[in-house]
Amino acid sequence: MYSIFLVDDEEMGLEMMRDYIRWEEMGIYVVGTASNGREALEKIEAFQPDIILTDVQMPIMNGIELAKKIHECYDHMQIMFLTGHDEFHYVKSALNVGAVGYLLKPLDLTEIESVIEKVKARCEEVQMKQRSMEAAKTKILKELSFEKNAEQAAELANNFNRLTRLPESNRYTMALFSIDPKEAEGEQQSLEECMSRLISYLDHFFKAKNIEVVFVPYKDGETGVFMEATQQPGYYAWEDLAVAIRSALDFTVTAAVGALAAELALVHNLYKQTRVILNERFYKGTGLIIHAVAISNQFDSEHMPPFERKEWFEAINQLDFEQAAQKLHQYFVGLATLRIKKKIICNWAIDLVDELLEQLHQSVPEGFKRAELYHSIYNALTLHEIEDLILGTAGDAVSMLGERLMDKNTKLVHKVRTVIEQNYDQPITINSLSDQVYLSPNYLRSIFKDKTGITIHDYLTRIRLDKAKELLADGSLKIQDIAQRVGYESTSYFISLFLKNLGVTPNEYRKNI
């Protein structure tokens, strides 16, 4: 649909035009109204309508003056005049200032529909011309982004200036927007769909600020935004845009805002700078607006600082994942500060993962093939992603070691239980048991309680008393003999233990069998 702006100094006539003409049936919607030319000019600047229908005779600024000013500023807007029969001599003046049609008062619906169809056809022609011009501007700016030959660049710049009728001395700035790849991955939307939504949002943002921009596509998921240097938004406007994008879009975008201003022939310098700024995403993370100041006076280092590798592996072997994660994070903070080159960090990360897998005697970590892991590290968009990939492998290692330790402890506890069940009639102490499984008494107590839910002493007591209950069924055996057969030299201690655990004495238990 096309938008129309209505101007008439007669309030009733303005309301009638706005409310009673069936604009929507003609593919038109009313974007705003004004009662004189001056008011209309202010609102037209904000609303940017496709069509303007204005009365000729108005106070403050008449329709002819309004049309002249509109054509000075907006060559795409189509103007229609509204005039009475006694004002018909104004029609010639109206057509001289570029009016595409006129309507006579009182308005006739059939006449309105006829004129509107002609105006819509003109609007379509204008839009096609604009699209063609935008495509040509985009093509030239993209070629200029890579053209370093001075003569070729100058020729391209001349073509651009002839197309736009802008002064050759104009200087331009650039911002480079990139959809963060991992954020755009998903079944619901393609990278192309995300880019279309991003450009639509940016177009709305810049139009709201009356900034004319040209979008230039580069790599998949990237678009350059060119504008005249005098129109470039300030720092806080860019930051507001970053917040707005995070709120409006369901994927993240990182942008590099250049600080250079250059004539068209030197556009390749603008592109080169924003490309360098965008690479800062590796250190700073995604979803940000990165300014040129972020890379000023910074030097990349090729030397990795020392890493407490021994302590890190000890934390993993002790199943202390939090400690391992903390040590790694502190190290990566240092890497970002020193700005170690990505390739060097990737090689170091792969070497660390290799050593971890070798210590586990595991060629493939759970859920990952080694080659896929290496590929993910080399293709990581940010330093944080590499840290997460290492931590993911470390987490798998801790889980694997924990399972191995759990299996080992289960076997040890089973051995202790077997020793107790086979030797309950002999003197058994925690020291004698720990000697048989080569563990300290305290550690043996801990893992036995962890695996069985009871202490070794309670388990030994249970086994002995269960055997004593079996022996009590034999009436020929004395209580003293039964106590000795289940490992108790003191008969009184046996009786008190039996009473404490079963609630009756051995003799009372025997009577109830």
| Cα separations in angstroms, 235 against 257, 291, 292, 319, 372 | 9, 8, 11, 47, 40
Q: Are 69 and 33 within one domain?
A: yes
Could you tell me if residue 56 is inside a domain? yes
Assess whether 388 and 319 both reside in one domain. yes
Q: Over the range 343-374, which residues count as b (16 or more CB within 10 Å of their CB) and which as e?
A: eebbebbbebbeebbeebeeeebeebebeebb
Residues 415 and 398 in one domain: no
Domain-embedded: residue 96: yes
- Is residue 392 within 8 A of residue 328, CB to CB? The reply is no
In a domain, 114, yes or no: no
For residues 439 and 396, membership in a common domain is answered with no
Domain boundary at 403, 434, 451, which?
Answer: 403
Residues 139 and 270 in one domain: yes
Query: Of 368, 403, 438, which closes a domain?
Result: 403
Q: Is residue 300 part of a domain?
A: no
User: Tell me, what CATH number does 220's domain have?
Assistant: 3.30.70.1230
CA distances from 244 to 46, 183, 196, 234 (A): 20, 17, 17, 16
145 occurs within a structural domain: yes
208: in domain? yes
- Spatial neighbors of 134 by CB under 8 A, at least 6 apart, are 214
Q: How many domains does the chain have?
A: 4
Q: Is 124 domain-assigned?
A: no
Of 370, 403, 436, which closes a domain? 403
Give CA–CA dist 79/77, Å, rounded: 6
Give pTM, 2 decimals.
Answer: 0.64
Range of the domain at 222: 132-295
Do residues 16 and 137 share a domain?
no
pLDDT digit string (tens) for the chain, length 513 residues = 899 999 999 988 899 889 888 899 999 999 999 999 999 999 998 888 999 999 888 888 888 889 888 888 887 899 988 876 555 565 555 555 566 777 777 778 888 888 888 888 888 888 888 888 899 999 999 999 999 999 999 999 999 998 888 887 899 999 999 999 864 444 457 888 999 999 999 999 998 888 999 999 998 899 999 999 999 999 999 999 999 999 999 899 999 999 999 999 999 999 999 999 999 999 999 999 999 987 776 666 788 999 999 999 989 888 889 999 999 999 999 999 888 999 999 999 999 998 888 777 654 444 446 788 888 999 999 999 999 999 998 998 888 877 766 677 888 888 898 899 999 999 999 999 988 888 899 989 998 998 888 999 999 999 999 999 999 999 899 999 999 999 999 999 999 999 999 999 999 999 887
CB atoms within 10 A of CB 506: 21
Q: Which secondary structure element, helix H or strand E, spans residue 18, and what is its range?
A: helix 11-20
